[in-house]
Amino acid sequence: MNIKLIKFGSNDFYKSLKHSLAFNEDDNSEIQAVVNSIIKDIKNNGDSALLSYTKKFDHLESKSLSELELTKESLKEAYESLDHSTQTALNESAQRIRDYHQNQIQNSWDYVEDDGTRLGQKITAIDSVGLYVPGGKAAYPSSVLMNAIPAKVAGVKNIIMVVPTPNGEKNALVLAAAHVANVDRVFTIGGAQAVAALAFGTETIPQVDKIVGPGNAYVAEAKRMVFGTVGIDMIAGPSEILVITDGQTNPDWLAMDLFSQAEHDELAQSILISSDNSVFKKVIKSMEKLIDTMPRKKIIQTSLENRGLFIEVNNLNEAAEVSNFISPEHLELSVSDPDDLIQKIKHAGAIFMGINTCESVGDYCAGPNHVLPTSRTARFSSPLGVYDFQKRSSIINLSAKAASRLGKIASIMAEGEGLFAHARSADYRVKIDD
């Protein structure tokens, strides 16, 4: 297996690194045109357009949208159809995710100044959220849990889940996850048309305030286009992992951790950083030994050979510097003293500390969210969480004394900006004897 190796400190290191991090996105002008047309159709024709697209793309014909809504009883039946070990895994994962996100709840606050002015912040939950879940043969119950549970913890009253069921094929695990996460309504629709329906509402699909969840290029483009009418979580790029090792980790473990991201798709990126050059040779040897055991062997090989990267550094300080530049979605600190190294890390979506902590556990059941910033956006954004489903309102309550004193300041500022109605509005509250 041939994986590119670059060395920190070389003259063209960062140029080479930037080139390795970049990925070629397909020209999406055709996708944009298709999605734009679908959105307009849904806005103008509602349910009838949605039924037409569901028939066209999912080969599922229905007389009304009500036929495409799943009852809570059917979600429960899907859960009960699972074997006991799967039910237990779903429940424990859900509880760990719930427990973790309970710690993210923000509370309203205020304070009173000496003159009686009360200032504060009121926290309220978003009213309704749309959750997009890939369907058909794809099974992403973890996505349901990771998106729906933080929303419920935040206090969202209505979660509307959409999941395509091509040819009527339903995934019991996904529906069971919706039951465990207490999703309010589920419609078996998908694609850009489902995103448009959630964003603008139809006769049957309620309009939501925010749309979250992964999807294909058409779904991602639809989310991009409806942003502003509704909120969205993010436009995610290819999945990525960065592993920093001090050479003490079993190379088989390192190889499989890199495989775990490479198997997502051909554009996924797996990066290994070490100061020990022999580590790279050992990992390659492990990869060549293990690759034939992987059902997604071709995807893994393509990903690693096209986008995989080994980076040789002189020490862990340099490793941290490179990591902060990359700002990875997943960062494994596979070192003997991760507590020291984490102090030097500034940018990462999720940080996995120590040789026993693999990224895969974070994807499913550790507790923290697996919806993470990709493509270096961890420099300025964070994992999905309760805070994404709560919003803040400022509170200002002025006493008469404060209104008089602050009114003078506001009046001067407003006149300086040429906004005289603003100034007079403030002046009305100013007491002449103040």
- Count CA atoms within 13 Å of residue 270 on its CB side: 28
Active site residue 92: no
HEC string for 315-336: CHHHHHHHHHHHCCCEEEEECC
Radius of gyration of the chain (CA): 26
Distance CA(202)–CA(47), nearest Å, equals 6
Which residue has 């596979």 as its token pair?
334
CA dist 342 and 333 (Å) reads 8
Burial class (CB in 10 A: 0-12, 13-18, 19+), 393: exposed
221, 240, 263, 329: the catalytic one is: 329
Q: Decide the pairing of beta strands 118-125 and 109-112.
A: antiparallel
Respond yes or no: is residue 329 known to be catalytic.
yes
Is residue 131 within 8 Å of residue 371, measured between CB atoms? no
The DSSP line for 368-381 is S------TTGGGT-
At 156, the amino acid letter reads V
Return the half-sphere exposure (C-beta side, CA atoms, 13 A cut-off) of residue 110. 16
Among 106, 98, 103, 102, which residue's Cα sits nearest to residue 390?
106
| The token pair that represents 114 in the structure block | 């000496």
DSSP state of 228: T
> Whole-angstrom Cα distance, residue 228 to residue 235?
14
Burial of 288 (0-12, 13-18, 19+ CB in 10 A): exposed
Q: Of 101, 179, 264, 330, which residue is the catalytic one?
A: 330
- Chain-centroid distance of CA 410 in Å reads 41
Catalytic residues: 329-330
